[in-house]
Structure formats: C-alpha cells, structure tokens
C-alpha cells in the first residue's frame, strides 16, 4: 500500500514509527526532484524544510514495500531516470549493509 502525506506531520511520523519504510520525496515539484529514500536517510530528514521539522511541507508517497512504491511512482511520473531517481546516499548505504 502506498500512502501520501502533505502537511500531515503527526500522521507521517506515526507511519515512520511503524518500522522501515521507503519515501518518495518532493512529489509535484517536477520529476527531476522525485527521489526515493529509505525512511532513515539523513538527507531526507535533515535537508530543506525538514531541518525545521516540516517534513511534509512537500508531498511524499510512502510504502513499506519498495517495489510497490517504485511501481506507484513510475505509473504517475515515469520510470527511473525520468520520473524519479534513487537517493545516492541511503541506497548506497543500504547496499553495503
């Protein structure tokens, strides 16, 4: 299941508290900015508005299933490289673990 969050800080935090998830950030800001992260990613949680605690001031799509999130984003915005990219930081870290 894919869940969208926009200006829903409490609900987003409750979703994240439920365990590892994947997040596509910046929905609606142009496909070149759509980046899929692991929910614990430092870049996702400490950049831009997130520095001040406003994580959902930009629209996010989230899922506990990476394949499901990728399919959802691809259907709406296009395949990897056109409609989204994977975060180079957190997916590189995940590959090492």
29-53 mean pLDDT: 76
**pTM recorded for the entire structure:** 0.86
Length of the chain: 97
Confidence at 61, pLDDT banded by 50, 70, 90: very high
Under DSSP, the state recorded for 46 is: H
Write down the pLDDT at residue 55: 79
- In whole angstroms, what is the distance from residue 11 CA to residue 68 CA? 20
The pLDDT score that the predictor gives to residue 90 is: 87
């Amino acid at each position: 299941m894919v869940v969208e969050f926009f200006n829903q800080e409490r609900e987003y935090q409750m979703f994240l508290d439920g365990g590892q998830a994947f997040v596509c950030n910046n929905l609606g800001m142009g496909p070149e900015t759509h980046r899929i992260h692991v929910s614990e990613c430092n870049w996702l949680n400490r950049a831009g508005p997130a520095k001040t605690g406003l994580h959902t001031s930009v629209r996010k799509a989230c899922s506990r299933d990476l394949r499901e999130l990728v399919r959802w984003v691809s259907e709406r915005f296009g395949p990897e490289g056109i409609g989204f990219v994977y975060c180079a930081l957190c997916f590189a870290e995940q590959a090492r673990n």
